[in-house]
Amino acid sequence: MDGWQDKLDEHLEALRDRWAIWDLGSLPTVVFFLVFFCMCGLGWYWSREPERMPLEVSSDAKRGQLLATVLVKVGTTLHDKPGGYLRNDMLVPGIFLDNVPAWELGVLQQVRNMTRSLHRDMSLSHAQFIEDRDLLAAESAFNVNAESWLFPTAESELRRGAEAIASYSDRLGRGEARFYPRVEYLRRWLTDVDADLGRLSTRLNAALPDNAVTLSAADEPLAQATQTSWLAIDDVFYEARGNAWALLHLLKAIEVEFGPELAQRQAQLSLRAAIHELEATQQTLWSPVVLNGSGFGLFANHSLVMANYLNRTQTDLADVRRLLAESD
């Protein structure tokens, strides 16, 4: 009997030695590392960019409904994706993330542009200038400070803007709202898009000092070139990627809504070429960081690759604007 008791005592002693790490001195350290790895995993999950959304065209939809529906989907993605809206986060891990918040800013810029165009142009006739109440509310909501986290929160305003656009779409279906697919309205929106892409392309090219000086000298000889800082390279890249993601969906909707006008002026091929370039910007980035290598060095330069795609998109959209202008 004493032999069995001795063996049991030995096993209990071995168990106590094995679990000695859980004593009061080591427990906080273990808990810290568990929380740390959980936050890292959550941050990785939240940092994944949303996939491209399919374009669902309904045969019985009224003109303008598809564009409004796509705008709602793009806008709601900002707060419905994993992690929700991160740009105004004040808690971990969101406060330490910067790639997706920069992506969100890019998407929001294009949402604001299209909402403004719908409100100030595409919903107004030449005869009467009566503002659409839903589009007025949507433009006001989407112009919220992107980093506002209290009174009001950016998320609540983004939801309010998306709900207002959805209401406008429903009223279009009932014949209670108007959508005017006029060529001059499309050209005006494309001009705003061109300005956005131009600014992004300049900032992407300015990731290299030599490129920043060259661009500045070409545009305005006396201007001082602003080099993109090393810490901001990834932010500018993901902001451009967000702009391209949103613009890709909006241009696909524009191709449908303005289909007859584009076909009449033979501008469809140029628009599809621009869409193709934007699709290329959404390729998977296999590198864990945004690289800023030189032309023929060992490392790629992701910023200059993105700038190249945006420049080609600008060229294609400029062709669309030219064809639309020549037919007026």
Residue 215 has pLDDT above 90, yes or no: no
State the amino acid at position 284 in one-letter form. Answer: T
Please provide the average confidence, as pLDDT, over all residues in the chain.
88
Between vectors from CA 161 to CA 156 and to CA 164, what angle results, nearest 5°?
125
Return the half-sphere exposure (C-beta side, CA atoms, 13 A cut-off) of residue 275. 16
Calpha distance 10→7 (Å, rounded): 5
Q: Report pLDDT digits (tens) over 79-95.
A: 999 999 999 998 888 88
The SS3 of residue 148 is coil
Per the CB < 8 A criterion, the answer to whether 281 and 310 are in contact is: yes
- Name the β-bridge partners of 153: 149
Round to whole Å and give the CA distance between 21 and 51: 44
Q: Which of 4-18, 104-118, 211-225, 308-322 has the least mean pLDDT? A: 211-225
pLDDT tens-digit readout, 224-270? 447 777 778 899 999 999 999 999 999 999 999 999 999 999 999 99
Band of pLDDT at residue 218, cut at 50, 70 and 90: very low
| Of 247, 62, 261, residue with least CA distance to 168 | 62
Mean pLDDT of 194-211: 85
Cβ proximity of 87 and 105 under 8 Å: yes
Element (H, E) at 282: none
Are the CB atoms for 83 and 46 separated by under 8 Å?
Answer: yes
Task: Report phi then psi at 33, rounded to 5.
Answer: -70, -35
Higher pLDDT, 169 or 39: 169
Q: Among 154, 169, 239, 144, which Cα is nearest to 197's?
A: 239
Taking the model in full, what pTM does it have? 0.87
Question: Is omega for the bond preceding 93 within 30 degrees of 0, making it cis?
Answer: yes
CA distance between the termini of the chain: 106
> What's the length of the chain?
328
CB 318 within 8 A of CB 194: yes
Distances (CA, A) of 18 to 11, 119, 135: 10, 69, 66
Per-residue pLDDT, 125:
78
Contact (CB, 8 A) for 308 and 244: no
